[in-house]
Amino acid sequence: MTIAANLATLAADLNGWTNAIDKARRAYAQHLNELEAHTICRDCDRPATSQGRCDPHRRRYWSECSQRARDKKKETTA
């Protein structure tokens, strides 16, 4: 009976630790999401993605890079 009681106490303690770890992990994930949401775009005052630009500016930047690459390719083949 004592072994069963000790095992039950141990299981309850383990469950408590697991819940505490899960709660801390969720709080940390929420903190990271809030930090990412508060990043400001380099080109305007809108919230930015992890690349440092808002979505419209990020798309425009990559389309400009792609255009430069196409132009460079045309110059080398011509």
Apex 68 CA angle, 67 and 69, nearest 5: 90
- Give the pLDDT score at 45: 77
pTM of the entire structure? 0.42
Strand partners, 40: 47
34-66 burial, b at 16+ Cβ within 10 Å, e below that, comes to eeeeebebeeeeeebeeeebbeebbeeeeeeee
Q: What is the pLDDT of residues 41-74, one digit of tens each?
A: 777 877 777 677 788 887 877 777 777 777 877 7
| CA–CA gap between residue 33 and residue 58 (Å, rounded) | 19
Q: How confident is the model at residue 12 (pLDDT cuts 50, 70, 90)?
A: confident
